[in-house]
């Protein structure tokens, strides 16, 4: 990542009882001005260089990026493959934190998608050249077509979706559609709240849901982990799931 000297400090609002989507923090600039930002207002968070990393990665100790990279690497190694053979579509890519981890682990990371223009702009600002393409997925048929074209052009064979699935994030139906575009034998690595996975009935049922009308995606890895800390205290628990689409024939 391109590092920038930060001329601000951050103070988390440790409000008792605040839900995960209600958390806020205060950014104090060197000129004395303050701004309170809701954590999930990602358009504003991404606009300030280094702010996402400071709050989410450093202060809240978010483990999803490192976990998804490590478990995908573990799964492909068990298949006797190398990271350099894996060309990734990073769905819900944000400003490129997951993509950077994938690249550093030896994966090829050609394409990202996210709903926010601000996410793409932040990735290009902070991690130039990380992605060959960055598709803004606004949920339209046109955007879906752009993702399909990118999958074909770059011969993608893995999809990552870290902490981006569920209410207020990527709709399950959209992920089903995108996963359906991936070729046989592709890998899927996602993290989702343990509560959501439990609602689905476990890891295999979760991948069955993502598989849509295709043959069920095989579970290769399924483990719980601590996603991140909560500002009010305590933590958010997630599951990491890695699967593989069946080979044709």
Do 235 and 147 have their domain in common? yes
Do 69 and 126 have their domain in common? yes
Q: Does this model's pTM top 0.85?
A: yes
Do 165 and 55 have their domain in common? no
Do 145 and 70 have their domain in common? yes
Helix (H) or strand (E) holding 144: helix 141-154
* 115 in any annotated domain: yes
User: How many Å apart are CA 240 and CA 151, to the nearest integer?
Assistant: 23
pLDDT attached to residue 4: 52
pLDDT attached to residue 7: 86
The tens place of each residue's pLDDT in the chain, 249 residues long, gives 444 557 899 999 998 888 888 999 999 999 889 999 999 999 999 999 999 999 999 999 999 999 999 999 999 999 999 999 999 999 999 999 999 999 999 999 999 999 999 999 999 999 999 999 999 999 999 999 999 999 999 999 999 998 767 666 788 899 999 999 999 999 999 999 999 899 989 999 999 988 887 888 999 999 999 999 999 999 999 999 999 999 874
* 50 in Cβ contact with 6 (< 8 Å): yes
**What residues are paired with 12 via a beta bridge?**
25
* 249 in any annotated domain: no
Domain containing residue 169: CATH number: 3.40.50.150
Do 31 and 99 have their domain in common? no
Domain tally, the chain? 2
DSSP-derived 3-state class of residue 66: helix
Do 119 and 134 have their domain in common? yes
Do 81 and 151 have their domain in common? yes
Domain that holds residue 16: 8-59
Do 48 and 87 have their domain in common? no
DSSP of 180-236, one letter per residue?
A: HHSPTT-EEEEEEEHHHHHHHTSHHHHHHHHHTTSPPPEEEEEEEEEEEE-TTSSEE
Do 30 and 121 have their domain in common? no
* 144 in any annotated domain: yes
Cβ neighbours of residue 3 closer than 8 Å, sequence gap 6 or more = 50
DSSP summary character for residue 30 = T
Burial 144-161 (b: 16+ CB within 10 A, else e): bebbeebbeebebbbbbb
pLDDT attached to residue 17: 81
């Amino acid at each position: 990542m391109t590092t920038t000297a930060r001329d601000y400090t951050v103070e988390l609002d440790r409000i008792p009882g605040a839900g995960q989507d209600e958390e806020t923090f205060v950014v104090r600039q060197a000129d004395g001005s303050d701004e309170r930002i809701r954590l999930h207002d990602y358009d504003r968070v991404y606009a300030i260089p280094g702010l996402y990393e400071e709050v989410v990665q450093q202060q809240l100790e978010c483990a999803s990026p490192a976990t998804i990279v490590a478990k995908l690497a573990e799964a492909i190694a068990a298949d006797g493959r190398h990271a350099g053979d894996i060309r990734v579509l990073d769905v819900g890519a944000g400003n490129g934190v997951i993509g950077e981890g994938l690249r550093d682990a030896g994966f090829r990371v050609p394409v990202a998608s996210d709903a926010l223009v601000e996410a793409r702009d932040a990735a290009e600002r902070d991690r130039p050249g990380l992605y060959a393409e960055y598709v803004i997925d606004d949920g339209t048929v046109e955007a879906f077509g752009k993702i399909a074209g990118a999958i074909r052009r770059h011969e993608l064979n893995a999809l990552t979706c870290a902490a981006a699935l569920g209410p207020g994030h990527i709709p399950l139906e959209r992920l089903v559609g995108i996963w359906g575009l991936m070729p046989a034998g592709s890998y899927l690595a996602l993290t989702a709240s343990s509560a959501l996975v439990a609602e689905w009935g476990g890891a295999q049922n979760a991948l069955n849901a993502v598989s849509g009308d295709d043959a069920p995606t095989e579970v290769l890895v399924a483990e719980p982990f601590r996603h991140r800390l909560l500002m009010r205290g305590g933590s958010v628990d997630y599951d990491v799931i890695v699967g593989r689409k069946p080979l044709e024939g």
